[in-house]
């Protein structure tokens, strides 16, 4: 479907034409009409499918029909990271180029002058506030932000925000919003906690789900089946023989990232680390050095798997197998961007074989296996199906409640049942951190006149720094 087939205003179509946007992506084709109808929406689509345009285009169009926001806020877009908030703000400028709708970006990791600038913007009011939850909540607690007239509340990468521990912050913000609003939730995955939040803050939402796409054929995927202790040696081998520059290495924990970074630096490899223990200015410095070529390798947790726009990554290495197939797709999707080729290599320890087997089931094919270098020793066989079935058999054959003599021990069983279980429901994986009922936004019977800028800007696109590329979200 073409954008001009949607019920978007001429001003929005002018901006899209200036940016050479013609065809809708599947998420845009399905979500935009629903949003224009005024319905709440929960949309599931992976990063890179055009989710940002899917909500910004119709919301900008509808905001143009509302009075200009003075001393209050019309729309809030929540994003998990500063980098994604900045990216959304840049796309907002491009899409609203011919429409008198303004925006302000609110995020942490800034100096006092920037905080004061954000403060002034919120006090003056804004049509759209693009914010990370923690920083917006900090401004709200100071008492000068009016959210009582918010018409549109948007959560981008909702699953990522919950993974980073923002659930409570989001629900505190929701409590200050009016019940009559339109709420849009976009997420790459739909875990139970996302479903729980959706029930709390959305009102009879429409649902749009775009299947997770398989990795592009331009990515050369391979894997090493190895022992855990062989992984670092394999990584050094890869950096020496395959690519030594523009490499991202994903690991499962902050501790592993720190240890691995030290190991590679000892090997005289220019390596940076990215995880949630870093302050925002430290993250910015690392990313700047990586983009500028002062670092060849970036070791990171999944904090880097989404929302980072770097087009020329030569190789992605999964030092640890990701937990979900969607995470695998997000990680390796950092390479082979902008029609370039790329490599993705996964290191599979014995205990990770079952997980990688599930990923191969999702992909629909077996990923090519490479031989572990001979100097690193013998490697285990790869048989994830056998490992899964043997594990289930072992559990099912385990005798219940036996003592050392093989006799039943009911008291021991009772004691074990009464042992308190640890509560993992409140575990918050990484970084910067639900329940009033909502109602559907009522449609006005009379169309409000569209606000027009007294001096319409010429029909020319902004420079490349201020407008999104078709491949950006």
pLDDT digits (tens, 9 = 90+) for 191-205: 888 899 999 999 999
* Contact between residue 115 and residue 143 where contact means Cβ atoms under 8 Å apart: no
Looking at the domain assignment, is residue 132 inside a domain? Answer: yes
Same domain, 135 and 271: no
Identify the burial level of 181 via C-beta atoms within 10 angstroms of its C-beta, where 0-12 means exposed, 13-18 middle and 19 or more buried. buried
The residue from 328, 360, 382 where one domain ends is 382
Same domain, 261 and 369: yes
* Confidence class for position 305, pLDDT limits 50, 70, 90: low
- Mean pLDDT for 168-192 is 93
Same domain, 199 and 225: no
User: Nearest 10 degrees: CA dihedral of 116, 117, 121, 124?
Assistant: 60
Looking at the domain assignment, is residue 274 inside a domain? Answer: yes
Average pLDDT, the chain: 81
The residue from 162, 185, 209 where one domain ends is 209
pLDDT at 460: 43
Q: What percentage of the chain carries pLDDT values higher than 70?
A: 79
Phi, psi dihedrals of residue 297, rounded to the nearest 5°: -130, 135
Same domain, 296 and 375: yes
* CA-wise closest residue to 307 among 444, 441, 158: 158
pLDDT at 339: 67
Distance of alpha carbon 143 from alpha carbon 140, whole angstroms? 5
Same domain, 199 and 280: no
Same domain, 115 and 241: no
18: containing domain: 3-209
pLDDT at 473: 43
Same domain, 22 and 170: yes
Distance of alpha carbon 287 from alpha carbon 273, whole angstroms? 9
Same domain, 38 and 179: yes
Q: In this predicted model, what pLDDT tens digit does every residue of 413-468 receive, in sequence order?
A: 333 344 444 444 444 444 444 333 333 333 333 333 444 433 334 434 434 444 44
Looking at the domain assignment, is residue 312 inside a domain? Answer: yes
Pair of tokens at residue 288: 């700047």
Same domain, 204 and 230: no
Distance of alpha carbon 346 from alpha carbon 163, whole angstroms? 23
* Confidence class for position 472, pLDDT limits 50, 70, 90: very low
Q: In this predicted model, what pLDDT tens digit does every residue of 350-390 receive, in sequence order?
A: 999 999 999 999 899 999 999 999 999 999 999 998 654 44
Position with higher pLDDT, 326 vs 138: 138
**How many structural domains does the chain have?**
2
Looking at the domain assignment, is residue 146 inside a domain? Answer: yes
The residue from 347, 382, 417 where one domain ends is 382
Looking at the domain assignment, is residue 432 inside a domain? Answer: no
Looking at the domain assignment, is residue 12 inside a domain? Answer: yes
Beta partners for residue 274, in sequence order: 300
Pair of tokens at residue 468: 């999104």
* CA-wise closest residue to 126 among 151, 143, 107: 151
Looking at the domain assignment, is residue 202 inside a domain? Answer: yes
Same domain, 326 and 245: yes
- Give the 3-state secondary structure of residue 61: helix
Same domain, 327 and 346: yes
Pair of tokens at residue 76: 């809030």
Lowest mean pLDDT of 5-14, 168-177, 247-256, 310-319, name the range: 310-319
Distance of alpha carbon 307 from alpha carbon 334, whole angstroms? 10
Looking at the domain assignment, is residue 472 inside a domain? Answer: no
Could you tell me the CATH number of the domain that includes residue 178? 3.40.50.300
* CA-wise closest residue to 318 among 329, 331, 307: 331
What are the percentages of helix, strand and coil residues in the chain, rounded to 5? 40, 15, 45
Phi, psi dihedrals of residue 187, rounded to the nearest 5°: -150, 150
Same domain, 299 and 176: no
Number of other CB atoms surrounding residue 313 within 10 Å: 24
């Amino acid at each position: 479907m073409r954008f001009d087939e949607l019920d978007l205003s001429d001003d929005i179509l002018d901006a899209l034409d200036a940016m050479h946007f013609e065809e809708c992506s599947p998420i845009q084709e399905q979500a935009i009409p629903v949003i224009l109808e005024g319905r709440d929406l929960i949309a599931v689509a992976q990063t890179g499918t055009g989710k940002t345009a899917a909500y910004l285009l119709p919301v900008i169009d509808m905001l143009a029909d509302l009075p200009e926001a003075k001393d209050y806020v019309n729309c809030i877009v929540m994003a998990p990271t500063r980098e994604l908030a900045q990216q959304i703000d840049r796309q907002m400028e491009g899409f609203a180029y011919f429409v008198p709708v303004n925006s302000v970006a609110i995020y942490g990791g800034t100096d006092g002058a920037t905080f004061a600038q954000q403060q002034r913007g919120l006090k003056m009011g804004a049509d759209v506030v693009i914010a990370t939850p923690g920083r917006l909540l900090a401004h709200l607690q100071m008492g000068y932000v009016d959210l009582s007239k918010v018409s549109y509340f948007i959560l981008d990468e909702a699953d990522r925000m919950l993974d980073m521990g923002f659930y409570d912050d989001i629900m505190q913000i929701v409590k200050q919003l009016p019940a009559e609003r339109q709420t849009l939730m976009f997420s790459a995955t739909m875990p139970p906690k996302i479903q729980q939040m959706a029930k709390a803050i959305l009102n009879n939402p429409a649902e749009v789900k775009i299947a997770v796409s398989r990795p592009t054929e331009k990515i050369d995927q391979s894997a090493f089946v190895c022992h855990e202790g062989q992984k670092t040696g394999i990584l050094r081998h890869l950096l020496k023989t395959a690519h030594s520059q523009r490499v991202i290495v994903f690991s499962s924990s902050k501790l592993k990232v720190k240890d691995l970074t030290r190991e590679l630096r000892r090997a005289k490899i220019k390596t940076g680390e990215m995880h949630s223990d870093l302050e925002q200015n430290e993250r910015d410095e690392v990313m700047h050095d990586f983009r500028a070529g002062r670092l060849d390798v970036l070791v990171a947790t999944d904090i880097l798997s989404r929302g980072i726009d770097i087009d020329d990554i030569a190789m992605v290495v999964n030092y640890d197998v990701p937990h979900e197939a969607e995470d695998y797709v997000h990680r390796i999707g950092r390479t082979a961007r902008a029609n370039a080729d790329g490599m993705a290599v996964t290191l599979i320890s014995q205990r990770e074989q079952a997980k990688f087997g599930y990923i191969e089931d999702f992909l629909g094919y077996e990923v090519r296996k490479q031989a572990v270098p001979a100097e690193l020793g013998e490697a285990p066989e790869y048989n994830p199906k056998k490992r899964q079935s043997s594990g289930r058999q072992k559990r099912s054959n385990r005798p219940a409640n036996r003592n050392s003599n093989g006799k039943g021990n009911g008291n021991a069983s009772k004691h074990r049942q009464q042992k308190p279980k640890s509560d993992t429901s409140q575990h918050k994986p990484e970084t910067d951190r639900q329940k009033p009922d909502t109602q559907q936004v009522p449609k006005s019977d009379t169309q409000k006149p569209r606000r027009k800028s007294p001096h319409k800007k010429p029909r020319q696109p902004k420079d490349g720094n201020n407008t999104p590329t078709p491949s950006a979200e």
